[in-house]
Amino acid sequence: MVVYKVDRLTRSLTDFAKLVDLFDQHGVSFVSVTQAFNTTTSMGRLTLNVLLSFAQFEREVIGERVRDKIAASKAKGLFMGGGTALGYINRDKKLVIVPEEAEQVRWMFRRYLELGSVGLLLEEMNRLGIRTRLQTLSNGEKRGGGAYGKGALVYLLRNRCYVGEILHRGQIHAAEHEPIIDRETFEAVQASLAAKAITRKASTKASDFLLTGLLFDSACNRMTPSHSRKKGVRYRYYVSQAILQSRKDEAGEVFRVPAPELEAQIEQFVRLQASDPHGDVRAMIEARVARITVQTDSISVELAGPGADAGGAPAASGHIVSLPWSRKPFRATKGAIGGAAGVIITAADGQAVLAAIGRARRWLDEIMAGGTIAAIASREGKGERQIRLRMPLAFTPPDTMRQLLDSSMPAPSVTELARAIPLIWQTGPDPVNGCLPSTQ
């Protein structure tokens, strides 16, 4: 390899050390045209390190000067390049108002205050055919012209450029360009957005949603976690991004599904495929499942690439498995009272209930062996409170278990069954286990 100067190869000592190791592995040597020294000797290597140290120092000093220059220019209110906001055009390094686009921006701010919802504003914008700015790049390619997303619209409503200000590293400076939105309207929009913001305390890794990033509807829209609360109970769902972005016409056949039932079916599938069915379910799903598509009558599971899951079973690349599934109503249907515990029989999925009972019994065995709820919650990716609420399922009465095992009968939901487990129940001994029928 021939370079003009050594610092043309790299100006970082760390990167240069990695490059030298890579060159040695492949038998490659490099020569500088304007700098003659022998890198095979100790003096030559010292000279090389000194030159690279000065090169790195020069690079860092130049970066500091550029950053200081940008900060000083923005403090003066100057436009320092980059993308221009809707309603402005960059002319001789100054932002000039475009009347047609400015009126569209004013309409967005006014309409948001009238509707009080970003989702409703998106629906109206899509109905009116309002699209992002269409730009032609220097190479002739066109960019933009598509429908607004929720994130892009919120960014526009929060952009302080529209009140004649520049935001730089958390500091607000007065800008030279003319504002489009008056201060009163802008502050009212910011207050409304702040009041409706939802703070998410748990990170994605610690979330109790097992299928995050893997779930799609039949129209190839990603389905993201969501939840609601009613009478102190938290209900988890997966909702299509088309619905969240107010694009109902582009949503699939099924755009909102209950999370527990769907996760239970996927968990049952991966445990049956794994050589160790008692392993970490989150690790199994991440290792084996590449994509899940929800349809009206089935779930298509695309297996991950070559490798092995947490239980050691090989994963076939690109293979798609179809699991039976049907969309169920979100409102609980009225049903008969059945079972020794007086459990309300609903139309929930019996397989999900049986899987939940099996998990509760495994958790109980671990606790009896000296384990802790905290350790179980950490392994399962759930909260300790959720583990405690489902632990009573391990004490499901045998009469109720017989009804659940009868596929011809409907089953209660997991939450209702956990709440309905009685503290004391009496029944005859199970012919197999003597007490509780085995669910494993």
Whole-structure pTM value: 0.46
73-77, 139-143, 201-205, 328-332: which range is least confident on average? 201-205
Give the residue from 259, 227, 255 showing the smallest Cα distance to 242.
Answer: 255
Beta bridge partners of 178: none
Measured from the Cβ of residue 187, the count of other Cβ atoms closer than 10 Å reads: 12
Is the CB of residue 145 less than 8 Å from the CB of residue 132? yes
The pLDDT of residue 433 is 39
Tokens (6 digits) for 304 = 């991950």
Give the residue from 206, 396, 284, 379 showing the smallest Cα distance to 371.
Answer: 379
Chain segment 136-182, per-residue pLDDT in tens: 877 888 888 888 888 889 999 999 999 988 888 778 888 888 999 99
Distance CA(10)–CA(280), nearest Å, equals: 44
Q: What are the start-end ranges of the H helices in 26-172?
A: 42-75, 99-115, 118-128, 150-158
Give the residue from 439, 434, 393, 396 showing the smallest Cα distance to 415.
Answer: 393
In the predicted model, what is the mean pLDDT of residues 343-360? 65
68-82, 133-147, 298-312: which range is least confident on average? 298-312
The pLDDT of residue 39 is 66
Any idea of the CA torsion for 160, 161, 164, 166, to the nearest 10 degrees?
80
Chain segment 309-343, per-residue pLDDT in tens: 444 444 445 688 888 877 665 554 443 334 333 33
pLDDT-based confidence at residue 424 (cuts at 50, 70, 90)? low
In the predicted model, what is the mean pLDDT of residues 422-439? 47
Distance CA(272)–CA(288), nearest Å, equals: 12
Distance CA(364)–CA(387), nearest Å, equals: 10
Strands (E), 112-251: 135-136, 142-143, 165-168, 171-174, 215-217, 223-230, 233-240
Distance CA(48)–CA(42), nearest Å, equals: 10
Coil vs helix vs strand at 432: coil
What is 88-196's CATH number, 1.10.8.640, 3.90.1750.20, 1.10.357.10, 3.30.70.260?
3.90.1750.20
The residues of the chain that CATH labels 3.90.1750.20 are 88-196
Residues contacting 55, CB < 8 A, separation 6+: 6, 7, 11
Count CA within 13 A, CB hemisphere, residue 195.
Answer: 9
Distance CA(280)–CA(267), nearest Å, equals: 10
The pLDDT of residue 340 is 37
Q: Residue type for 158, please?
A: R
Residues contacting 344, CB < 8 A, separation 6+: 335, 337, 412, 416, 420
In the predicted model, what is the mean pLDDT of residues 118-134? 89
Coil vs helix vs strand at 281: helix
Distance CA(289)–CA(22), nearest Å, equals: 35
Token look-up 């040597």 returns 29
